[in-house]
Amino acid sequence: MTGAVRAPLDAPPSHGAETVASHRFRKLKFAAASLVLVAIGATAAITHYGTTLPPLDLAAATDRSTVVIDRDGRLLRPFLTADGRWKLPVGVDDVDPRYLAMLKAFEDKRFDSHRGIDPLGLARAAGQMLLNGRVVSGGSTLTMQVARLLEPREERNLAAKLRQAVRAIELERRFTKPQILDLYLSLAPFGGNLEGVRAASFAYFGKEPKRLSTAEAALLIALPQSPETRRPDRFAEAARKARERVLARVERAGLATASEVAAAREEPLPTARRPFPNLAPHVAEQVVAEAPAARSHRLSLDARLQTALEGLARERSLGLAPQVSIAILAVDNETGEVRASVGGVDYFATERAGSLDLTRALRSPGSALKPFIYALAFDNGIAHPETMLEDRPARYGIYIPENFDMTFQGMVSARKALQLSLNVPAVELLSAVGPQRFLSRLRDAGAAIAMPREAGPPGLAVGLGGLGITLQDLTRLYVGLARGGEVPELDVRAAEGRKSSASPRLVEPVAAWYVADTLLGAPPPLNAVPGRIAYKTGTSYGYRDAWAVGFDRRHTIGVWVGRADNGAVPGLVGRTVAAPILFDAFARLGIDPRPFQQPPDSIVASSAHLPPPLRHLRQDVPKTMAAMTTPALKLAFPPEGAKIDLAASAADGQTQLNLKVAGGAPPYTWLVDGAPVLSPTRRREAVWQPPGKGFMRISVIDGTGASESVSVRLQ
């Protein structure tokens, strides 16, 4: 060639040629070393290198997110690990077998036969590098990848590869193939703070890895190779290309037809991460706080029912004020296990105080306790469902009960009085039973009643809601009626995780059946089918709480509606607000059509055919609050319409207001705008610190249930 300049054969290469040669030499060296590693065998490698390694640390394999699952193993709520990562427990039984087959076909097709390292795979990787001048495939087995995940290192050199090979052989000797797959499925990274295929499946697709489509499985197989640069929520094109490579390999392996792969290619990629399940958050936090060391908590809840009732609460809240919340509790009557627990409408809603578990809040039950007055009256032979009661104006000392609609029905049977929730007959029966005896029986059955014993004897007002009880305890008492008077301990933990104990008895089976049969005939809410469930409603004083609790042979459901701050809600009535939610909840749960089992010694007869003592309430029964000489209750200070200067009543830098009452019977309970502000006291004087200025209504209730209120202005 004319004009061409040739370098002499012994001339040193140029700088650029030296760099290329050096780079190629390093590649050849790595390929040759890989072939040598295959040649010497795993035994020689362990002998030469493995003895210098410390014991394999499996801490990463045991560090998992705490999870709360339902009775069938469905995920209710996971929790972040201490380092802020989602690492949900997962194993081969938790994923689709097709996903595992695709994973092996793409990553390690001889996984089931090799012993940690794949000589053919390493030879193939070295040959590909020699032919292409670059790394085409790494030759790492799934076991070697697990070794790398257990001992993450930045180096990607011969020493690192040799260490992975030695660790892989060690893993194969210690664990079975399914256990090694478990480790990979748990440790593989998927971008961000996601570790493990189960966490990734929930984050990207909102489902368990048992339900992955072909396209979804292919994406999750591709991500661990380069999790940060292939995240579909950030690098969609890179994720799509990586998924394409997996699908092509899957088609060649015969794991999917051409049409299936074509459809998978058209399936859209996820564009954002989904939130993890957050069902029954209040219960989940409670059980984790009780046993923080446990990594898995199996509850008695049913995830499907929990989802349905949480959705019901959200739907019904749309027609209520923004501050009003809803709590729902569903219980299995036979076992006492809680099947669903909705502590509020929205856990994250600050205006509804969503983080508070309102199934555990002490609230006034209104008339929801009346069935237990009747149950005790039936149990003690005081009355029968057909016993005639008087619904007419009555006076118990200075306590004059009135019905909700301010009318009277005259002579009514106990059955009708309970079905219509009449106040006067209920107070008459409570007077015969005795308020203290009534409360003692409720407490003995396990209900935590908010009425201090040291405050003095209770009055008849307790029968109409003059006490505090939680939705959990109230629902539990109704479960007792469904079980023939035996009140079980409620527990959210699955049967294998809780202790069984003897259940206390509230009443005998006959009395419980009388009440259940009576409540079955209570008029249902508008457009609801009658005679399906036995239920009772309640409305607290000042329209602060609306209740509805019902049961059939199999389940009991309790519903509470109100404000977490105990504020009044105009129109908040149990029958019109809570009862429709109760019936809708049973529609979603399903109603047991079996009738309540009638005890053999029960009496079914009209009033005229009852034994004479049961035809009418015995007139010789003393009225427990008949102290007619007690002076009428009077709020002595402040007087009605008073304007009070708070600055003039300040003491030690704090504003104080002296409250005084005359007459009545202790203990005295003081309320401001319907909310209790002081503990019940036997003293006729009390000191209260107002929160600020403005118009306020101050009330006092004495031990007989009598009340007196005044409106004042604090300035």
- Spot the catalytic one: 107, 195, 208, 486: 107
Q: Give buried/exposed letters for 230-239 (b at 16+ CB in 10 A, else e).
A: bbbbebeeeb
Per-residue confidence (pLDDT) for residue 11, from 0 to 100:
42
| Three-state secondary structure call for residue 240 | helix
Does residue 659 register a pLDDT over 70? yes
Q: Where residue 291 falls among pLDDT bands split at 50, 70, 90?
A: very high
Per-residue confidence (pLDDT) for residue 36, from 0 to 100:
47
Kindly write down the DSSP assignment for every residue of 484-516, as one continuous string.
TSB-PPPB-B-GGGS---PPPBSS-HHHHHHHH
Residue 510 has phi, psi (to 5 degrees) of -65, -50
> Which has more pLDDT, 131 or 556?
556
Does residue 276 register a pLDDT over 50? yes
Q: Mapped to the 3 state alphabet, what secondary structure does 113-143 carry?
A: CCCCCCHHHHHHHHHHHHHHCCCCCCCCCHH
Q: How far apart are CA 126 and CA 298, in angstroms?
A: 49
Give the alpha-carbon dihedral of 46, 49, 55, 56, to 10 degrees: -80
Q: Where residue 19 falls among pLDDT bands split at 50, 70, 90?
A: low
* 237 labelled catalytic: no
Q: Which of 158-167, 292-301, 374-383 has the lowest mean pLDDT?
A: 158-167
Question: Distance of CA 639 to CAs 542, 649, 686, Å?
Answer: 21, 16, 15
Average pLDDT for residues 111-130, to the nearest whole number?
70
Query: Left if phi > 0, otherwise alpha if psi is -120 to 50, otherwise beta: which for 674?
Result: left
Residues in the chain, overall count: 715
Q: How far apart are CA 367 and CA 537, in angstroms?
A: 7
**C-beta of residue 123 within 8 angstroms of C-beta of residue 37:** no
Average pLDDT for residues 334-361, to the nearest whole number?
95
Question: Where is 304: in which H helix or E strand?
Answer: helix 303-317
Q: Where residue 432 falls among pLDDT bands split at 50, 70, 90?
A: very high
Q: Any idea which residue has 């809680």 for tokens?
A: 338
Per-residue confidence (pLDDT) for residue 125, from 0 to 100:
55
Q: How far apart are CA 628 and CA 640, in angstroms?
A: 26
Quick: pLDDT tens for 623-646.
Answer: 443 333 457 788 888 888 888 777
Q: How far apart are CA 270 and CA 240, in angstroms?
A: 10
Per-residue confidence (pLDDT) for residue 48, from 0 to 100:
55
List, in order, residues 6 or more apart from 78 with CB less than 8 Å away. Answer: 65, 66, 67, 68, 86, 88, 199, 202, 276, 277
**Tokens linked to 532:** 């399906």
* 113 labelled catalytic: no
Most confident segment among 2-16, 150-164, 285-299, 618-632? 285-299
Kindly write down the DSSP assignment for every residue of 597-628, as one continuous string.
PPPTT-----GGGS-HHHHB--TTSPPTT--T
Residue type present at position 43: T
Does residue 150 register a pLDDT over 50? yes
Pairing of strands 67-69, 296-298: parallel
The alpha carbon dihedral of 471, 472, 478, 482 has a sign of: positive
Q: How far apart are CA 458 and CA 465, in angstroms?
A: 12
Does residue 467 register a pLDDT over 80? yes
> Which has more pLDDT, 309 or 54?
309
Average pLDDT for residues 79-102, to the nearest whole number?
95
Burial of 221: CB neighbours in 10 Å, binned 0-12, 13-18, 19+: buried
Burial of 286: CB neighbours in 10 Å, binned 0-12, 13-18, 19+: middle
**C-beta of residue 139 within 8 angstroms of C-beta of residue 110:** no
Burial of 619: CB neighbours in 10 Å, binned 0-12, 13-18, 19+: exposed
Per-residue confidence (pLDDT) for residue 10, from 0 to 100:
43
Q: Could you give the percent of the chain with pLDDT greater than 70? A: 84
Give the alpha-carbon dihedral of 565, 569, 573, 579, to 10 degrees: -60
Q: Which long-range contacts (CB under 8 A, 24 or more apart) does 636-644 make?
A: 636/660, 636/661, 636/662, 638/698, 638/710, 638/712, 639/710, 640/710, 640/711, 640/712, 641/710, 641/711, 641/712, 642/710, 642/712, 642/713, 643/712, 643/713, 643/715, 644/712, 644/713, 644/714, 644/715
Q: Which of 434-448, 565-579, 662-676 has the lowest mean pLDDT?
A: 662-676
**C-beta of residue 339 within 8 angstroms of C-beta of residue 70:** no
> What's the chain's Rg over C-alpha atoms?
37
Does residue 650 register a pLDDT over 60? no
Q: Give buried/exposed letters for 115-138 (b at 16+ CB in 10 A, else e).
A: ebbbbebbbebbebbeeeeeeeeb
Question: Where is 687: in which H helix or E strand?
Answer: strand 685-688
Query: Left if phi > 0, otherwise alpha if psi is -120 to 50, otherwise beta: which for 284?
Result: alpha
Average pLDDT for residues 381-391, to the nearest whole number?
94
Q: Where residue 119 falls among pLDDT bands split at 50, 70, 90?
A: confident
Q: Mapped to the 3 state alphabet, what secondary structure does 622-649 carry?
A: CCCCCCCCCCCCEEEECCCCCEECCHHH
> Which has more pLDDT, 453 or 523?
523
Neighbours of 89 (CB within 10 A): 19
Q: How far apart are CA 684 and CA 668, in angstroms?
A: 7
- Spot the catalytic one: 367, 421, 540, 699: 367
CA max distance for the chain: 139
* Average pLDDT for the chain: 85
Strands (E) across 441-595 are located at: 534-539, 545-551, 555-563
Give the alpha-carbon dihedral of 406, 407, 413, 419, to 10 degrees: -50
Q: Which of 275, 271, 270, 146 is nearest to 213 (CA)?
A: 270
**Tokens linked to 496:** 């294998």
